[in-house]
A and B are shown apart, each in its own frame.
Chain A
């Protein structure tokens, strides 16, 4: 390591893996943890104290569905006491009356609400949950009534990509400040369901045009953050803004990871909060130091002028597609394996044409037997 390790700014807290939805692209690991593995209230509060001491300024409370934690208001209050900015990432289904108001009173700063489709039928099909869309609309109204800023998150794939214009209209009508058009990242459940989710190249190109036009038209009215589909890209995403550089995540059982998919890199070992304190994990964990900075990089990253722009891309994608977590993310045009991305797109398209039931997802469920992807 040549550069000093800086304090982390952001933390993603996956409070639970329980969720009322079963989206086939969930970013949680394929092996989901049951409720009895979840860290208790005191554990999370202690972790949040140490996170604030370490320099964390923003905590994203996620899951699974974080509102399934009955202690969520207490957790938010604990963070607010320390001046940490809190962002609740919710599916907005089954939130009890008065809960959002209580969270706002406890000091919650912002809510990000997901929509699986711009129409009820799509939302219900993708999440495999009846009535989900109506409940989400109601949640959005209640969020706005409390005065909390609202971001709508739309995870995009083959089955809802044509709804992008309607997603934009929906977010506008709900009074959202921000809309995230986030093309699905093929890790976790999405990797398992890649063939059923991968979009067509032409549809991706149309989507880019629609989003760019809307970003221009809606300047100062609503921000649209666009997470592009990296299988179709030239350069990779700077995943996490660089491995263990300014953010980390915590799994429901207190395991601390550099990113939410890092457990797919089987050679890494992750410490659990409680066994180690957070500062020690951030500075000393072998998993955090494995791909920190640029010293670990191989060619073509090693001599690339973009190494501190892309940070080598996604380690988990490098692992999934090249079999080597230290390789250049194959989303990069400079990767010798870049052509494999095109092959994978084509294979998925052939499945879409040949398969009689192209929509057959392996829905996300706890305890569901699923073969690990290699």
Chain B
């Protein structure tokens, strides 16, 4: 056995989300849109998702991501924080990002 116990990663403010090694955010010239390529699935992230995904580089903490996005969207941090956390948790559960 390679892994005897596996557990679900849960997002926190200190998490440093990063796209998984075999998940690629790639511009598709045919459709003129950004595609997120992952094992067996292609996702078409919208503008907001794209802005979050671009910050998933393993260097920005969730706290920093929220600050940057609040600034970018001229929104209150407390207002957007739950949505961003929820997105990241969902993408972690789908094996798109590592927290």
Q: Do the two chains bind?
A: yes
Among B20, B37, B39, B42, chain A packs the most CB atoms within 10 A around the CB of: B39
Q: Is the beta-carbon distance between B26 and A83 smaller than 8 angstroms?
A: yes
Is A112 positioned at the interface, with any CB of B under 8 Å from its CB? yes
Write the B86-99 contact mask toward A (1 if CB under 8 angstroms, else 0): 00010011110000
**How many residues on the B side are at the interface (Cβ–Cβ under 8 A)?**
28
Q: What chain A residues lie within 8 Å of B93 (beta carbons)?
A: 219-220
Is A99 positioned at the interface, with any CB of B under 8 Å from its CB? no
Is B67 positioned at the interface, with any CB of A under 8 Å from its CB? no
In chain B, what residue has the closest Cβ to A173? B1
Among the listed B7, B37, B89, B92, which residue makes an inter-chain contact with A85, where contact means beta carbons less than 8 Å apart? Answer: B37
- Pick from B27-35, B58-66, B71-79 the stretch touching chain A: B27-35
Among the listed B7, B20, B42, which residue makes an inter-chain contact with A149, where contact means beta carbons less than 8 Å apart? Answer: B20
Known: A55-B30, A173-B3, A177-B39. A109 touches B8 (CB 8 A): no
Is A337 positioned at the interface, with any CB of B under 8 Å from its CB? no
Among the listed A57, A109, A173, which residue makes an inter-chain contact with B28, where contact means beta carbons less than 8 Å apart? Answer: A57
A86 to chain B, nearest CB (A): 10
A144–B22 alpha-carbon span in the complex (Å): 13
A220–B91 alpha-carbon span in the complex (Å): 9
Is B9 positioned at the interface, with any CB of A under 8 Å from its CB? yes
A221–B93 alpha-carbon span in the complex (Å): 7
In chain A, what residue has the closest Cβ to B4? A173
Interface of B: prevailing SS: loop
Q: What chain A residues lie within 8 Å of B31 (beta carbons)?
A: 7, 55
Q: Is the beta-carbon distance between B7 and A151 smaller than 8 angstroms?
A: no
Q: What chain B residues lie within 8 Å of A85 (beta carbons)?
A: 24, 37-38, 42
Known: A7-B31, A83-B26, A178-B95. A58 touches B3 (CB 8 A): no
Q: What chain B residues lie within 8 Å of A7 (beta carbons)?
A: 30-31
Q: What chain A residues lie within 8 Å of B4 (beta carbons)?
A: 173
Q: Is the beta-carbon distance between A222 and B6 smaller than 8 angstroms?
A: yes
A149–B4 alpha-carbon span in the complex (Å): 18
Known: A7-B30, A110-B22, A219-B93. A57 touches B6 (CB 8 A): no
Is A87 positioned at the interface, with any CB of B under 8 Å from its CB? yes
Give residues of chain A (1-21) contacting chain B, Cβ–Cβ below 8 Å: 7, 9-10
B94 to chain A, nearest CB (A): 7
Q: What chain B residues lie within 8 Å of A219 (beta carbons)?
A: 8, 93
- The 9 A-B pairs at the shortest CB distance, nearest first, are namely A220-B8, A55-B30, A110-B39, A220-B93, A85-B37, A175-B2, A173-B1, A177-B95, A221-B6
